[in-house]
Chains A and B, each alone.
Chain A
Amino acid sequence: MSDLRRILKVAARLRNERLVGVRLKVMLPILILFLPGLAWGFSDPNIVLPGGHQPDTAMEVLFYASLGVVFGATMCGVLMAFDGVSKDRASGMLEIRLAQPMPRQHQAAALVLGHAQAILIPVYTLLILTVVVVRFRMGEWPTLTEAMVYGLSTGLIVLWYTLFALLASTTAKEQGTAIAFGVGVWFFFTFLWALVTTMVAYASGVAVGEPNDPTWVALEGMLDMLSPNGVYHHLLETQLPTIDRGIAAWQAWLAALLWTVLPWWALHRRMEALVP
């Protein structure tokens, strides 16, 4: 059996185990509410957003509905993966897994793929439904490129949070710490990042929260590169020509690559040093 096939087989078993678990059943209503639910709201022809803006293209609606991904899908990714290692450690299963001849880096890859697939399968299913909802409400499909960028970006942000949760899971000795770390990271980037941005802007003498001030927009755009949620929005903005925050598409994709490679590498290192 080739290494890749072995990784995929182990990942598929993990995925299937998670897909039939109670946890996903609990998460599904949240995901339904946050993904097609938000799209339904934002595609209302009479909606007026703060600032008097009205989304008028399918991609714009998807962009606003991506809030549901940031708040819901990433949280579900964390909740799906936080005990990916810590549960096995607590039950003694980790020792059995580590004693198998499968290299630990491959085990790490299988863990990531299995958990990411387990959350991405429902998320992608609901994203398709989201696009259909937008089409139903607005009579317009997103272009193929827009749909692909939307799907890929969403896949990446869910993958990043899965990686963070697994990193926490390998580091924490028990599950409480693992979930505290995973949710903490999610909370930091989802809710507290605005505070970080504000503080940096204040320290730099930039007027805070002025959407018409190019200095504020540029600073916010730059700082967003340091947050997975920010990079996600930068990726989506590559399909929105009306938004320019001073970050080129290649820079956004490069940041996405780094946000993928660095935590993955860190997880590999953790797995190599992991003791039961």
Chain B
Amino acid sequence: MADPLLTFDEVQHRHAVPAPKAWKPWAKRAGAGIHGISLSLYPGQVLGLVGPNGAGKTTLLRMMAGVLPIQSGTVTAPTEDRHSVAVEDLRNWAGHMPEQVRWQGAITVVDMLEQLSDMRGQRHHHLHGLLNLVGLHERAEEPLDNLSQGMRQRLSIAAALLGSPKVLLLDEPFNGLDPVAAEAFAALVRRLAGKGVSIVISSHMVTQLEGLIDRIALLHRGQLLDEGPLADVEKRLALDGRYQLTGPGELDDTNFLGHLDTDVLVTKSTEASWSLTVRGDAERVLQACNDHGLSVASWAPVKPNLVEWLCAATGMSLDDISLDVASSAMVPMMAMEAMEDE
């Protein structure tokens, strides 16, 4: 594998939350945030940042984009022999697409991009190419107020691509895109990755990232649970090699699979049909089904969803994880610093 473009080592950012005291009503303390995350971004690879609401995906992306300060930890650029990359430099390296931007105003699309180009100190000659790339060339002179949600997402992508960034940070980019636009967007991401751009995509919908990401980083409550190539992480968390088989008729039992080194995860059977979800050697399971006289109508690999990823990585059940994203419950896995006041 190529050397990483950027390496984040034990980076941390905790949001300041109000903690008023009688003698100091403006007092704040360090609240939820990102804790000691180490992560490398590789050229030409797409990293999927996956986690539930409140996991810290947006905070981490903002840190990577140089929007939020890195309170501790270091950022290095090994390929450029840079032992320390300042936050200001990160803004040069990265193109950032926030989750929701309500582009508004009477100014046109191209005027807006020119304004952002000016902020980057760049000329405007490449803007029409950029608008072509994201499919907004026919809307270049359209006022921002007239854009649909999907077009606004495309404009956000164009804004992130200004200055040909080495790292592209996309926060929930599929929100608001119709399936056609989402597919076109995925193709664009693959094309950019093919040009060597390192891409980070955050999402709480793992299925949207299938076939798009090379690596996955599993984030929960501000901490990195696991990270690596998708297949490796699946294997580590025992989420690989899962298949669902279906067929007509009734399934009495699954003892016929007992002699195989196979986990039967889910069994469903009615008088009309049956389905089995197993983890093991697919060919041997199919053979055993045939030997048992079962007619297999379909056979498909089962990809884990976000809940399964989280449950596997944390060892918690769905009930434990629940919907609780209160700030006090954000960092249960890491000891908090004694000094909380800022």
Contact = CB atoms under 8 A, between A and B. Distances in A.
B183 interface: no
Contacts of A10: 115, 118-119
Contacts of B88: 101, 103
B115 A92 contact: no
B98 A100 contact: no
A1 interface: yes
B222 interface: no
A102 B119 contact: yes
B107 A17 contact: yes
Nearest to A106: B119
A95 B62 contact: yes
Interface in A1-45: 1, 6, 9-10, 13, 17, 20-21
Size range of the chain B interface in the assembly: 20 to 34
Contacts of A275: 15, 67-68
A100 B106 contact: no
Nearest to A10: B118
Interface stretch (B89-97, B258-266, B274-282): B89-97
A103 B66 CA distance: 11
**Max chain B Cβ within 10 angstroms of own Cβ: one of A95, A98, A107:** A95
Nearest to A97: B119
A96 interface: yes
A97 B65 CA distance: 11
B143 to A, nearest CB: 12
A97 B115 CA distance: 10
Contact of B101 (A6, A96, A101): A96
A10 B112 CA distance: 11
B69 to A, nearest CB: 9
A106 to B, nearest CB: 9
B118 A92 contact: no
B139 to A, nearest CB: 18
Contacts of B104: 91
A96 B120 contact: no
**Max chain A Cβ within 10 angstroms of own Cβ: one of B107, B121, B156:** B121
A80 to B, nearest CB: 15
Interface string A104-130: 000100000000000000000000000
A13 B120 CA distance: 14
A91 B121 contact: no
A275 B58 CA distance: 12
A103 B92 CA distance: 11
Interface string B134-150: 00000000000000000
Contact of B96 (A13, A21, A93, A95): A95
Given A17-B106, A92-B99, A95-B62, 4 more contacts: A6-B121, A96-B98, A99-B65, A101-B88
14 contacts: A1-B122, A13-B114, A20-B106, A91-B103, A91-B104, A92-B99, A92-B101, A93-B102, A97-B116, A101-B92, A101-B119, A102-B119, A275-B67, A276-B67
Interface of B: 15, 62, 65-68, 88, 91-92, 94-96, 98-107, 111, 114-116, 118-122, 156, 159, 163
